[in-house]
Structure formats: structure tokens, C-alpha cells
Structure 1
Amino acid sequence: MRLTTKIITGMMALAGCIVFFSVSKADVQNGAGAPSGKTGSPGDGSSCTGCHGGTAPNVAGLISSDIPASGYVPGTVYTITASVSDPTKNKFGFQISPQSTTGTKLGTLAVTDAARTVLVGANKYITHTSTGNAGISNASTWSFNWTAPAAGSGNLSFYGAFLIANANGTTSGDAVKLSTLAVSENISSSIKENSLVQINVFPVPATDVLNVSFSVIPEKNVTLKIFSLKGELIKETVFENSAQKISMNVEDLSEGMYLLEIISGNEKTIKRFVKQN
């Protein structure tokens, strides 16, 4: 399949780019939108800049969402918005796909404006339609829904490629910009809290040492994992000898709130704690 892809790329890349960036020709109407795989993501590796010359700069802020700073909650529907503008042009195109850094497509995209957006690439990409490339007052905005993936999917990014076209009938004078919106998984909602006996975490706030006590001594080893509120694993300690109270050094943590995941066998729970210097 990879070899076939290379053959297609070698023979039809130009045709694909012309389809994607056909918004620069007033007489070309492409209801299918941009062909998939043109977001400029690490997994896609292409944004069709070869058809337009130059390089595509990364520009912050072209993709936004209502995903909270604490991260996405698995199974929740969010609204993603793409916006681009140029004071001298009024034809625009885009393509966005939510992916991991390795190219895995995550979550479910859904069209909310069928006149201006369409899904392509096995519904893993969303792009403009032939009627969705016209700007208003030298700008264009597209919105769509995204359902967050299953728990444990981890951090991801919305990778997007944007076309700014002059509609002169050729690709000359057009520009491509890339933009990325990085989001994290809300680990506090992703981890199911099981009944791991009665657990106390103290002191609160913690300064040098964080203690965990159990109402009943765990039968299996206990693992403590500390995460940031964005779901980033900061440190992990495994306690092989079961005890009613265990302690973890947190002196090296910065001040703030953290999540403590406590695992023993197939059971796990999560607690919040505050670190104070």
C-alpha cells in the first residue's frame, strides 16, 4: 500500500494539488473539496505547497475550539472553528484532521454546514466545498463538530492547511499557511474511579512528601502516578511491599494542583492534591 501511494504521489500529486487549490480558478467547481492527506501534519507530510511554490509557514490561531484548557472529555462533542483572512484576497480553502503525532486519526468529525464543508478521506478529514471557498470581506470561517475519542487516546492536535488564493485563474500569487491546535485529554474524567478501599491523601497542601494511607492493606503492589491537569505524566513510583501507608517525594514539583492516580492490581482511583513550596 505504501508503494502504491508513492506511485500515485509521483504521477498524480500535481493533479491532487490542483483539485485542492482549484479555488484560484473562478470556473472550476469542486464539490468534493480538497483530497485527503494535505494538512501538513507529521503523518500526512504534505500540504500541496509544491504546486504553489515556496514554503507554508506555521501560523498560530487559525484553528480554535470550545475544548476547555483542562482537556477533552472522551465522548463529548465539541465545536471546532477554522478562520483565515487576507486584506487583498477573497478566495480561501482549508483542510483539517485531528491526529496524534504518529498520524493516527482520532475522534469523529461531523459536518454542521453541508453547503460549505465536506468530509473526505474515510471521514477523517474535513475540507471546503466548491461553494465554501468564497470569502466575505476578505475572510472566511468554517465550523464543524468533533466527538472526542475513547479514554486513553491521549494528547492530539488538529492539523490544518489553509489556502489564500487570488482567483487569477492560475496558482501564481496563491499562498498556503499551516496551523495547529494542540489539545490534551482530561485525565481526571478519563480514569474511572474504582473502589480501592478507603484512601486518604495527606498533607494538603503537600510540600516535601505526599502520604497515601489505606483502610485495608492492599493485596498487590501499589503504583502511584502524578499527572498535570493536562494529563502529562510527571512521575511514577511502584511500591512492591504492601503497606497501610506509603509516601512519595514531591519536593521537586512546582507549586500547583496535580492528579494522583493510585493503582493496585486491576483497581485504580484518582485524587487531586495541591503542592506548595
Structure 2
Amino acid sequence: MKKILTLFALAAALFSISMTEQDSIPKPPLQRTGAPGETYCTDCHGGTALNGGPGGMTLTSSGNNKYVPGKSYTITVTVFDASESARGGFETTILDDKKNLPAGTCKVTDHDATLLRNDKNNGRVYMSNYQGVPYETWSYKWTAPATDIGTITIYCATNASNDDFTPMGDHIYSGKLTLTPKIISRLGADVDDKGFSVYPTVIHQQLTADFSNDESGNVQIALFNLQGQQQEVLYSSNDDAGNYEQTLSLKNQYTPGVYFIALQQGGSTQVQKVMIQ
């Protein structure tokens, strides 16, 4: 029994030491992303003006600047500056554009390089580097909100350090990335596909469709409701390859609201959203 208690005590001591070492690692100060109400790393670091160095930074999302509610994406931050060392730092926060409140949830995927912290003062969540760890690129997972909350912005500041372990002589770069909701119709196709457009988007009885064919074949344009149910076929033809502009007329009267105009050709579907009045 005494041996078991000794082992438990040893394990607890090791855990305590591990946590103490982790907590003792220097961490960048919060609220330095340039988000509304925040400053930048230039508050502490000096060398050039903000974005005044010979390098820069990139901020990307695996969702190509769009998000689907509830889906997860990889956010990647890179700082590059040939005049500095390979030791850099970053800090991001992700906010909705309407109220500047935290949007979605972040998760650390590399515990050796990145750190997640909550700021009790403003309620925001920050992803940053462990200060002093020699990295130039960092990634983490972000899960979009469960519902469409409109546009979301990732605010970011990076530090290209000269590795002298002082705040002087460093180059600070900042940037932001705006994410827009990706609308998926019940037809299984993205809304706002390139190569197919309709106007006006608020229609009464007529609209014009612009589209192109890469090869000859059957082309069909149809009206669907929000439930993905076809209401009527507006255009059906075997067309040659080329660019087309067709004026289309609704044959029936519909309850005012949101509908989809779907272009189906060559086994693919492209969709545009319209409002019928």
C-alpha cells in the first residue's frame, strides 16, 4: 500500500513539474491582432513601422475564404522576411463582422508550436505561438459556427524576429482574412458558381441567363424552390460550344420568396439564387 501511495505521489509531482514548465514558457501578450479595439505587436517590438519591413505574411483558410456552418477548416499563418532569423511569432483572433464577437471554435493541432488562450477581459479567443519557439509557419483547426452568421474576419499580426531576444530590431506584419458563408442549395451545388449568372436577381416574370458551354450537348435551365423541388423548365436545348445569353420567362405565378435557378449541363449543376416578387 505504501508503495502504491509513493507511485501516486511521484506521478503527481511529475505532472506538477510538467504543468509548471508549460506555464513558465513566455507567451505573447494578448490583444495585439489589430482587431477592432486592439493594437499590434509594434506596442512592444521596434525595428520598422507596421508592415514596413522587406518581408510579409500570409493568412489562408483551407475553405478558400468561404465557410459552411459547422464544418472545420485549417487556418495557416506564415511570416517571411529574409533579413531576419527563422524565429517568428503570430497571434490571431476570429470575429463576426456584425458585433465583433468570437466566431466558431479553435483547436490546437500542434502543441509544440501553437497555444490557445481565452481573454477574460474582452471574451475573445486567441491562437498564438509559444514565444521563442523557432517556427515561421503555424496551423490550427477552426470550426465554423453552427449557423450562418454572415461574414467573419480573421485578424492576424506576425513578428519576424532578429533572434536577439530583445524587442528591438524586429519586423511586424499584419493582415486579415474575410470568410463569407458558402451557400449550398438543396440541389447539392454551390450557389454563386462561376461561369453562370442571372440578372436581375429580383425578378417578376423575366430574367436573363448568361452561361457558357465547353462542348456541345444538352443544356437545361430550371426553377427550383428552397426544398429543391423543380417548379418548371425555363430552357432546354442542344447547344454547341460557346457563350450564350438567353432571356427567360416564368410560365407560372409563384409565391414571393427565394428560389434557385439551376443550369444543368454535361452532368454538372450550377446554381444562382433569385428573389421572385
TM superposition score normalised by structure 2: 0.58
Match of 2:159 among 148, 156, 163: 163
- Residue-by-residue CA offset, 1:8-47 (whole Å, 9 max, x unaligned): xxxxxxxxxxxxxxxxxxxxx9536323321112x24311
Specify the structure having the higher radius of gyration (Cα): 2
Counterpart mapping for 1:1-277 below 5 A: 31=25, 33-41=27-35, 43-53=36-46, 54-57=48-51, 62-68=58-64, 71-87=66-82, 88-102=84-98, 103-122=100-119, 124-130=125-131, 133-135=132-134, 140-188=136-184, 194-195=226-227, 198-200=230-232, 202-203=234-235, 207=245, 209-212=247-250, 218=254, 221-222=256-257, 259-261=272-274
**Kept after mapping to 2: 8 A contact 1:73/1:190:** no
| Inter-partner Cα distance in structure 2 for 1:190 and 1:60 | 41
**Kept after mapping to 2: 8 A contact 1:160/1:178:** yes
Give the deviation of 1:189 after TM superposition: 5.3
| Inter-partner Cα distance in structure 2 for 1:64 and 1:86 | 18
TM superposition score normalised by structure 1: 0.58
| Inter-partner Cα distance in structure 1 for 2:79 and 2:133 | 12
- Residue-by-residue CA offset, 1:169-227 (whole Å, 9 max, x unaligned): 4221012100222322111259997448642363479846454455xx55x5435699x
Name the one with the larger strand percent: 2
- 1:241 maps to none
**Which amino acid in structure 1 is aligned with residue 42 of structure 2?**
T
Q: How many residues align?
A: 196
- Please list every run of 5 or more consecutive structure 2 residues that lacks an aligned counterpart in the other structure: 1-22, 189-224, 237-242, 262-269
| Inter-partner Cα distance in structure 2 for 1:112 and 1:79 | 9
| Inter-partner Cα distance in structure 2 for 1:180 and 1:172 | 25
- Residue-by-residue CA offset, 1:91-118 (whole Å, 9 max, x unaligned): 2110012223452321111011112111
C-alpha change, 1:189 and 1:89, in structure 2 (3 Å) is farther
| Inter-partner Cα distance in structure 1 for 2:276 and 2:146 | 20
**Kept after mapping to 1: 8 A contact 2:57/2:79:** no
SS of 1:62's equivalent?
strand
